[in-house]
Chain A
């Protein structure tokens, strides 16, 4: 009788230990998270991605674990990346956790030219003409505001450290460069193709309209 009680107790303890060990390695749905400069992310498409704590290189896609404030919200994204010839990085914001139905901003390299395309609600808009001052063959560093609380979403980009509307190199409310729609989710992530991303961070929107 004592022996059976001991075996039962040992089984329960082993089970509890296994559960606690499992919980420590994974999370709610068992997905493994990695991190870039402290920001946790989950790989959506593994491809050839190589991950370190300070960069992500290769081809594939990932979604950051922490959500944005809400579906109709505004945020600013800090991006720093380099592209191989023919490579691209896509910033996906306000998407589902599988990076669907979001606002996609595709940065593609063609020599020293940066091609930039906005995609939302199934439509595209080429806005490359606003980025002619950016050398695509070097490290591209951008600050990108996405205001998904406006219809359609309002996007602005800066290359400097002054974030007024007039300092933006790109403003989707000017010159026929309108965003084709809005995002439908609270997640953001990146799609890489022959690219290295060194900085990808989200923060408060840099530009706020007073009215």
Chain B
């Protein structure tokens, strides 16, 4: 009964999307600049490696985005997403914020609910990722999709002779990552900083480098520190993304009240080659390990997860992509015996309407 009701709600949501899109032309023609966009992410998976449901094809998420200038100073965004979870489809607000790029010169801010602008994957919509599912470092440290929260972000392009964009943010931090509760008021809310640099590379290439830090202390007194580095390198030839290198490396230093400091290191690197403007092939390498895991008697416990994820993408346009991926995973979490896991994933994503442009 619960699932039936959820699916009816999900169907209603899709009908709303279908209703909203034809009205797009009418609403934008009144000069308000209103834009409506829908994105659907369909994923199927077999095998035991990686994340997500097994042995079925499902609508992982369907997003309806409405965004527009609010007036001469502000812009607004409402992004509602339907997910299919264990209880069927359910809704949540992914983004609901007001922002401005005009109040302060060379600066911008957003106030409301949004994915935190840290690293690379966290602020990129999942259906726009160059691979199907999150590497373990993203899923374990943050969320299989992203850490969303409510707060404020401010960024400014510093007046330096080189590109330097500095972003700071503070959000509630009552919950962090995946949670179905309202959480508890943290001792120190989420606070983060991202320093972004851009460098020109030979042959019309470019590299964006991000230095990140996120911290919080929850209501139990556990202090989390997440320093991280993200790098994205691109070479384009017209519409063809000739070469992409995307990588993040993060550390999590967790200092619980009454416990000992635990340091975990994780990362991924994804080189991808574009054979044509439509066909791409890349291999993602993942690693994840707890550095100071010990037995009760003091012996060090070697542990780690390492994965290779070859991914083939057919992207006939900016609006659709079909993707196939294979995951080979060597998994030795904690003291458990090692396991070799395999998984196959298929993904179809499409955008209807004008999807907001992403950063570099």
Residues of chain A touching chain B, judged by Cβ–Cβ distance below 8 Å, are: 27-29, 31, 33, 41-42, 63-73, 96-97, 100-101, 121, 149-152, 164-165, 173, 178, 181-182, 184-187, 203-204, 207, 209-211
- Which of B4-12, B250-258, B269-277 lies on the face that meets chain A? B250-258
Query: B293 to chain A: which residues have CB within 8 Å?
Result: 67, 69-70, 186
B298–A66 touching, CB < 8 Å: no
Alpha-carbon distance between A156 and B247 when the two chains are bound, in angstroms:
36
The 6 closest A-B pairs by CB, nearest first: A184-B259, A66-B335, A28-B298, A184-B256, A69-B334, A101-B258
Chain A CB within 8 A of B201 CB:
no
Please name the residue on chain B nearest to A30 by beta carbon.
B297
A101–B334 touching, CB < 8 Å: no
B290–A69 touching, CB < 8 Å: yes
B259–A182 touching, CB < 8 Å: no
Chain A CB within 8 A of B144 CB:
yes
* A185 interface neighbour in B259, B264, B298, Cβ under 8 Å: B259
Query: B184 to chain A: which residues have CB within 8 Å?
Result: 151-152
Query: A41 to chain B: which residues have CB within 8 Å?
Result: 296
Alpha-carbon distance between A152 and B178 when the two chains are bound, in angstroms:
11
A65–B218 touching, CB < 8 Å: no
Q: Could you say which of B145, B183, B290 has the most chain A C-beta atoms within 10 Å of its C-beta?
A: B290
Please name the residue on chain A nearest to B292 by beta carbon.
A186
Alpha-carbon distance between A16 and B193 when the two chains are bound, in angstroms:
55
Majority-rule SS of A interface residues: loop
Chain A CB within 8 A of B86 CB:
yes
Residues of chain B touching chain A, judged by Cβ–Cβ distance below 8 Å, are: 52-53, 83-87, 140, 144-145, 175-181, 183-184, 218, 220, 222, 254, 256-260, 262, 264, 290, 293-299, 301, 303, 333-336
B83–A29 touching, CB < 8 Å: no
Q: Could you say which of B144, B176, B220, B257 has the most chain A C-beta atoms within 10 Å of its C-beta?
A: B220
Query: B336 to chain A: which residues have CB within 8 Å?
Result: 69, 203-204
Would you give the shortest CB distance from A34 to chain B, in whole angstroms? Answer: 12
Please name the residue on chain B nearest to A147 by beta carbon.
B178
A65–B295 touching, CB < 8 Å: yes
Alpha-carbon distance between A8 and B256 when the two chains are bound, in angstroms:
51
Would you give the shortest CB distance from A31 to chain B, in whole angstroms? Answer: 5
B303–A69 touching, CB < 8 Å: yes
Given contacts A67-B334, A181-B220, A185-B259, contact A210 B298 (CB under 8 A): no
A66–B262 touching, CB < 8 Å: no
Alpha-carbon distance between A63 and B336 when the two chains are bound, in angstroms:
16
B220–A173 touching, CB < 8 Å: no
A71–B254 touching, CB < 8 Å: yes
A70–B264 touching, CB < 8 Å: yes
B83–A70 touching, CB < 8 Å: no
B175–A66 touching, CB < 8 Å: no
A210–B85 touching, CB < 8 Å: yes
B296–A187 touching, CB < 8 Å: yes
Give me 16 A-to-B residue pairs in the complex whose CB atoms sit less than 8 angstroms apart, sorted by A's number. Answer: A27-B297, A41-B296, A42-B297, A65-B297, A70-B262, A70-B334, A72-B254, A73-B334, A100-B258, A151-B175, A151-B176, A164-B86, A165-B86, A173-B181, A184-B256, A210-B85
Please name the residue on chain A nearest to B339 by beta carbon.
A204
A178–B181 touching, CB < 8 Å: yes
Query: A71 to chain B: which residues have CB within 8 Å?
Result: 254, 256, 259, 262
Please name the residue on chain B nearest to A72 by beta carbon.
B254
Alpha-carbon distance between A121 and B222 when the two chains are bound, in angstroms:
11
Please name the residue on chain B nearest to A27 by beta carbon.
B297
Please name the residue on chain B nearest to A165 by beta carbon.
B86
Starting from the known contacts A151-B218, A184-B256, A210-B52, 8 additional A-B residue pairs (CB-CB under 8 Å) come to A27-B295, A64-B296, A72-B254, A73-B334, A101-B257, A150-B179, A151-B183, A152-B181
Would you give the shortest CB distance from B331 to chain A, in whole angstroms? Answer: 10
